[in-house]
Chain A
Amino acid sequence: MRGERAATATLVLALFVALYAVLRVGQALAGGEPEPTLVQWSTRIAYFWRLAVAGYGALLGMPVVHRWVVSDCERAVRAAGWAVPASWGLLVVQAAVWP
């Protein structure tokens, strides 16, 4: 795999993780979640819904990210080096504060 593709994939995966965390925070802040002890069955599982929406959002961003990576690969790779710990930190904070 060439550097451009790897940098694009890394940035898109970091975006996916960040979007997942933001979606969960939004969902928690919006409220209206069912009482866990009362849920027996439902067609919609919030966890899978978040995965699907975050994946869709990250894929939508992929062409823009790829264009940027192709135009300045060195800078994009440097950005990926910071995007990874940033998305990691966002997910850890989300999981700790808004499980």
Chain B
Amino acid sequence: MSELGFRLWERLHGHVGWLAAAALVHPAWLLRRRRRRAPGVAWGATVLVTVVGLSGALLYPSYREQVKPVLFERAPAVGWMFERKEHLAVGAVALAWAGLLSHLAVPKATSPAVAEGLERVARRCFLGSAALTVAVAALGTWVASTASF
């Protein structure tokens, strides 16, 4: 892929990343109330953060070859921020899926106690995922302002 192609992809990845962060705050906020159902919002936010995660994973080998050496030479502290962002992104995607699956299971729970427990799990998952995604998006923007394709 050309340098321009990588640059456009990186910008798109960053913008959709912020969109995913905003989308994940939505179920985290809605599910603070017990017995609140929001399957569409949960699906949308989870799919969005997964797409961004996959996009980042596909960009990573090129980042490692073309950007990482320059970034670590120019600003090692910012280079380590990128590494932090990659770790947090793993948790953001995994917890979004855990939240979605728990939320979808609430109506089919075998007992009220299980349903209540699943509601609590879904709430915590989306809250954790939203916090991680906001951190990932902020760190990504910081890194991109220092070095990019």
Contact = CB atoms under 8 A, between A and B. Distances in A.
Whether chains A and B associate is yes
A41 B63 CA distance: 11
Interface residues of B, number: 43
Contact of A36 (B68, B94, B109, B128): B68
Contact of B87 (A2, A6, A48, A91): A91
Contacts, number: 128
A1 B98 CA distance: 12
Task: Say whether chain B's binding surface is mostly helix, strand, loop, or mixed.
Answer: helix
A6 B91 contact: no
Contact of B108 (A3, A85, A95, A96): A3
B19 to A, nearest CB: 22
Contacts of B57: 48
A95 to B, nearest CB: 4
Contacts of A77: 113-114, 117-118, 121
